[in-house]
Structure 1
Amino acid sequence: MTVTKETHTPNEAFVLHPGGKFTFEERSKPTIQSPRDVIVQVMATGLCGSDVHYWQHGRIGRYVVEKPITLGHESTGIVVESGSSVEGLTVGDRVALEPGIACNTCNHCRNGRYNLCKDMRFAATPPYDGTLARYYRVPAECCFKLPSHISLRDGTLIEPLSVAVHSSRLAGNMQEKSVIVFGAGPVGLLCCAVARAFGASKVIAVDVVPARLASASNYGATHTYQMTSGKPDENAADLLAAAGLGLGADIALDATGAEPCLNCGILALAQGGTFVQVGLRKPNLSLPVGQICDKEVVFKGSFRYGPGDFQLAIGLLDSRRVRLDGLVTHEFEFAQAENAFENVAGRAGIKSVIYGPGVDEKAANVASEY
């Protein structure tokens, strides 16, 4: 595989401007600033709903696009430079990127919850640039070698797989438990896969789109249920009947952030069940608090991923307990990046991937050559 190493090569970037306009720009190539830094040539980047949300709405909560920003944070690449203190990585290594750099000194970081660090510099979250460029600089500890059988294209799914791992770990012991997963998009399907890998006896995938549910069994779902526009209690009763869960489910993971799904999930839980909120949409929703109290439901929020989640995600892939085949349904050259955003906004397929500038698509689709 050809890797660009010339220092004079421009750092092409796909840039979002306030107001929603995209441009292609040549920016300075990042340089080693710490002995622990590596420079990665970005080979492929998966598009996330947050990228599209910044494009369409200009903000997510308190994070506002106030100046031009490069989006993208689900990336793989090849190490092209490394700092003097880097160990375990060499030029030419194929890596998945963990796209957040914590301060490592605050109480949250010191207590092993660096995803809650208030000074987190997370790619594609204003004001920090993301990975839709030729080159990206990260500390070596944010690079994870890809299993030999995982292509650079499919490796872009390690970031959302780590989200699924984190939320599933928050849910607690899944061995022989019943798990409902709301949303059959990339994160929801990966939650299904992780739940099964963690020993769940039943995994019920729920969505409103039949085409998405049709593929859920390939990723660990034992049952599927198509939500209707009916009342949450009716959907919950029908869901439980369809899955043979008379007393309710042990765990519910919501990857949608949609109020009907939250309500249905809480109603479908058994006494003492656990609900984990994985996806976000509107910041303020109405919840059946009476049911939460009556059942003594444990309700948890899940935010990105923390220590060990990327390693565990890669371990699940390395052991083939989780498979990524078929999740990438649309691929785009770098020059077609805006088309990729439109594709995701139109909810076409499951996962869309944008290749880096000058990347050979065929080379990115094969497993390791090393």
Structure 2
Amino acid sequence: MATAQNLSFVLEGIHKVKFEDRPVPELKNPHDVIINVKYTGICGSDVHYWEHGSIGSFVVKDPMVLGHESAGIVSQVGSAVKTLKVGDRVAMEPGISCRRCDPCKAGKYNLCEDMRFAATPPYDGTLAKYYALPEDFCYKLPEHISLQEGALMEPLSVAVHIVRQAGVSPGQTVVVFGAGPVGLLCCAVATAFGASKVIAVDIQQQRLDFAKSYATTSTFMPSNVAAVENAERMKEENGLGAGADVAIDASGAEPSVHTGIHVLRNGGTYVQGGMGRSEILFPIMAACSKELTIKGSFRYGSGDYKLAVGLVSSGKVDVKRLITGTVKFEQAEQAFIEVKAGKGIKTLIGGIDV
């Protein structure tokens, strides 16, 4: 390993990983930079590929480098790069859009028809010593933000996009289902956006305890009853009156979807951020009669990463508290095992030379 030029953590098949020395990326575009990756967070999608070998229609057919939540140090810059220099510390946005399709030209590049997203088949991820990105997909970190925090800009950007999709504004009441990393960050962003009440919902007391100390005004554990009953109890316990202004699902669990629809006031907004089964039962009558605004949310788009860095830089969002621990690069597989077992909130894998 010590003599490897670009040691990478590669998924070959279900529960089958290896360390492999891949070629060092080259500057193929004058606007690109090469980054020495220092920290990478483990995302649920990484674990899902490791556990199942696929997510929906995305199937691992060839060996693929895992990882997409990363930060590092610029080691090379292309001849046309103007905003970065060697030695700059950056958060890495891991999805490169084509910039030419209709969604890209409409400013919705997260919906790009030809997106090349790290660790989504067939594209390699960032769990390697070096990774190439266009300069405008790298976000320079202020000196007071660590590289560990920089790795969390990816899940924070997901949360920023969800909360922006919901249009959360000062004084609103927000319910967030799922107190995992993205759900917790949704709570933090909603609070930063001025929500007067932010309620975290989960079925694990330990997660709710953390959420209460982190960025919520209250928490709620659903009972094993109908979604309408849980929604009514939540409204009563939290003084929501006719219902919440915004419901965000970051769990993908069908009961959460149902409860989210029922806990909203007439004219409220529902955003689906969590991915669950491809098809579920849906309370369409309630959605129609309340005239709800219902939106999906996928990854992140224009301005989300920049805002994420700004929220952390200003102290409005604390991502450091979500970091449970850091393991060495050589222990990457053990980190996956622990994350699959539900240990901690966010585990980071250090770079090969950290």
TM-score > 0.5, shorter chain as reference = yes
Within 5 Å, which residues of 2 pair with 1:303-314?
303-314=298-309
Within 5 Å, which residues of 2 pair with 1:257-272?
257-272=252-267
1:36 aligned residue: 31
The answer to whether the 8 Å contact 2:14/2:49 transfers is no
Give TM-score scaled by structure 1 length. 0.93
Give TM-score scaled by structure 2 length. 0.97
1:99 aligned residue: 94
- 2:101 alignment partner AA: C
SS of residue in 2 equivalent to 1:339: helix
1:5 aligned residue: none
Hey, what's the Cα distance between the residues in 2 that align with 1:188 and 1:212? 10
Note the C-alpha offset of 1:9: 5.7
Aligned length: 352
Give 1:137's match in structure 2, choosing from 98, 114, 132. 132
Hey, what's the Cα distance between the residues in 2 that align with 1:10 and 1:173? 46
Within 5 Å, which residues of 2 pair with 1:215-254?
215-254=210-249
Give 2:203's match in structure 1, choosing from 180, 201, 208. 208
1:88 aligned residue: 83
The answer to whether the 8 Å contact 2:66/2:125 transfers is yes
Once the two structures are superposed, what CA deviation does each residue of 1:258-302 show, in whole Å capped at 9, x if it has no partner? 001000110100001100001102111111011000101111000
2:277 aligned residue: 282
> Percent identity of the aligned residues?
55
| Residue 70 in structure 1 maps to residue 65 in structure 2 | yes
2:11 aligned residue: 16
The answer to whether the 8 Å contact 2:176/2:201 transfers is yes
* Further displaced range: 224-233 or 150-159: 224-233
Hey, what's the Cα distance between the residues in 1 that align with 2:86 and 2:207? 39
SS of residue in 1 equivalent to 2:338: helix
Note the C-alpha offset of 1:228: 2.7
Within 5 Å, which residues of 2 pair with 1:55-66?
55-66=50-61
Regions of 4+ moved over 6 Å: none
Unaligned runs of 5+ in 1: 1-7, 360-370
Change beyond 3 A, Cα 1:65–1:165: same
Give 2:313's match in structure 1, choosing from 314, 318, 321. 318
Hey, what's the Cα distance between the residues in 2 that align with 1:346 and 1:281? 18
- 2:274 alignment partner AA: G
- 1:15 alignment partner AA: V
1:171 aligned residue: 166
Give 1:128's match in structure 2, choosing from 118, 123, 127. 123
| Residue 189 in structure 1 maps to residue 184 in structure 2 | yes
1:160 aligned residue: 155
- 2:140 alignment partner AA: K
The answer to whether the 8 Å contact 1:197/1:322 transfers is yes
* Further displaced range: 27-36 or 231-240: 231-240
Change beyond 3 A, Cα 1:197–1:137: same
SS of residue in 2 equivalent to 1:153: helix
| Residue 333 in structure 1 maps to residue 342 in structure 2 | no
The answer to whether the 8 Å contact 1:190/1:219 transfers is no
Hey, what's the Cα distance between the residues in 1 that align with 2:171 and 2:148? 33
Note the C-alpha offset of 1:318: 1.4
1:255 aligned residue: 250
Note the C-alpha offset of 1:244: 1.1
Hey, what's the Cα distance between the residues in 1 that align with 2:312 and 2:161? 15
- 1:283 alignment partner AA: S
Note the C-alpha offset of 1:347: 1.0
* Further displaced range: 233-242 or 191-200: 233-242
